[in-house]
Amino acid sequence: MHRMFFLTHSPLNVLFTKNSSDFVVNEIPLYPFSGEGEHLVLHVRKKDLTTWDMVQKISEITGAKVRDIGYAGLKDKDGMTTQYISLHRNFEPKLEGFTHDKIKILDKTYHNNKIRIGHLKGNRFFIRLKKVNPIDAKKLSSALKAIAKEGYPNFFGYQRFGVENKNYQTGREILQGKRRERNRKMSDFYISAYQSYLFNMWLNRRLEICHLINECDAKTVASTLKWSLEDAKAIKQQPQFFKLLPGDVAHHYPAGKPFVCEDLQSEVERFAKKETTITGWIAGNRSMRSEGVAKEIDDALFAEAEPFLGKMDGGRRFAWNFIEDAEGSYKEEEAWFEMHFSLTKGSYATTVLEELLHVDLLSN
């Protein structure tokens, strides 16, 4: 896939290293913890470990089973990350004097319920880029402001696809019956990578279409996409880069339910206010699908998955996402550009970084 970008500046040649000094992730809880209850909640900082590695270590120290330790999401292995985990408070005495060179318990409290996957509002990121010259620093600053104002395409990050970018191929082979995976969790993981691959292909196509609409006259758009001239003119009049199409599945932002766009003009206005956003299909059963013009594009991109829909759980994912509280600063003496921003759960800071740098990190 030739990766498409929303912004149009040339690629920036800077140094990004995912280490504990230059890449920091802080989890934002979904709600305040009650301070009472049978579950011990630990605020944990880890360095260069996966969440699974960290949970395994806590399990070994306390005797709690891994499945009984709750966490809201998986954090990057590389870098410094903080997150909240829960276990029964009966295990608290085993943590007295706990020390580990890559894990630190920052704080503790209590709650009535176990922390479960998805129980987070989002994450706050710090990223430091190095070897940044003054010209590229200005481009980065402008690009960050543009994304903060309008949003960015919410691709799945390269982490989903493995070092050799083959996870999705394994998932496809499992669905085709060409490969067996005895471990159910790994099988689900590979199939999820295949679903993510299809989503990324679809989103890339939508970006191609948006560039075509923005750069060409309505007659050319209609002819190229085989749309009616009336539809092409109406869609081209939308002021934002990412165009909403008749039949798109929108979603209240940042939370709510998906729905099919019927009154397009009304949805364009709400989209501009960041009250709603557009979603893409996670191919599978029991999920809402697009209609009309949007469905024609979806059908072409997801055709290969149609025979396997009964074997996959479907859903919707934000196709266009928004960052919050974005800050950027340039330290010319060190040639560093540092930035902070927050993202909703399930979004990748590296995807934002790819848009800023116009580099596909998967191929680097």
The domain that contains 253 carries what CATH number? 3.30.2340.10
How far apart CA 104 and CA 100 sit, in angstroms, is 7
* Of 120, 76, 83, 145, the residue nearest 344 (C-alpha): 120
Shared-domain flag, residues 49 and 83: yes
pLDDT averaged over every residue in the chain: 95
* Of 188, 203, 207, the residue nearest 316 (C-alpha): 203
Measured from the Cβ of residue 34, the count of other Cβ atoms closer than 10 Å reads 13
Length of the chain: 364
Shared-domain flag, residues 100 and 180: no
* Of 267, 236, 234, the residue nearest 249 (C-alpha): 267
Shared-domain flag, residues 186 and 334: no
> Could you list the residue range(s) of the whole structural domain that residue 278 is in?
158-321
Query: What is the pairing mode between strands 70-71 and 152-153?
Result: unpaired
Shared-domain flag, residues 99 and 163: no
How does pLDDT run across 215-262, given as a tens digit for each residue? 999 999 999 999 999 999 999 999 999 999 999 999 999 999 999 999
> Catalytic annotation on 217?
no
Measured from the Cβ of residue 114, the count of other Cβ atoms closer than 10 Å reads 18
Shared-domain flag, residues 237 and 312: yes
Give the mean pLDDT of 339-350: 95
In the sheet with 276-282, reading across from the earlier edge strand, the strands are 258-260, 249-252, 276-282, 315-318
Q: How much of the chain, in percent, has pLDDT values that exceed 70?
A: 99
Q: How far is CA 335 from CA 77, 194, 301, 329, 357, in A?
A: 26, 39, 42, 11, 16
Shared-domain flag, residues 40 and 72: yes
Shared-domain flag, residues 191 and 282: yes
* HEC-encoded secondary structure of 198-240: HHHHHHHHHHHHHHHHHHCCHHHHHHHHCCCHHHHHHHHCCCC
How far apart CA 75 and CA 82 sit, in angstroms, is 8
How does pLDDT run across 6-47, given as a tens digit for each residue? 999 999 999 999 999 999 999 999 999 999 999 999 999 999
Domain count for the chain: 3
What's the confidence (pLDDT) of residue 165?
A: 85
Give alpha helix (H) positions in the chain: 51-62, 134-150, 167-176, 184-215, 218-225, 229-236, 264-272, 292-302, 349-357
How far apart CA 283 and CA 198 sit, in angstroms, is 8
Burial class (CB in 10 A: 0-12, 13-18, 19+), 58: buried
How does pLDDT run across 315-329, given as a tens digit for each residue? 999 999 999 999 999
What pTM does this model have?
0.91
How does pLDDT run across 161-201, given as a tens digit for each residue? 887 889 999 999 999 999 999 898 899 999 999 999 999 99
The domain that contains 99 carries what CATH number? 3.30.2350.20
Out of 53, 68, 76, 107, which one is annotated catalytic? 76
Shared-domain flag, residues 316 and 335: no
What's the confidence (pLDDT) of residue 193?
A: 96
Give the mean pLDDT of 279-293: 96
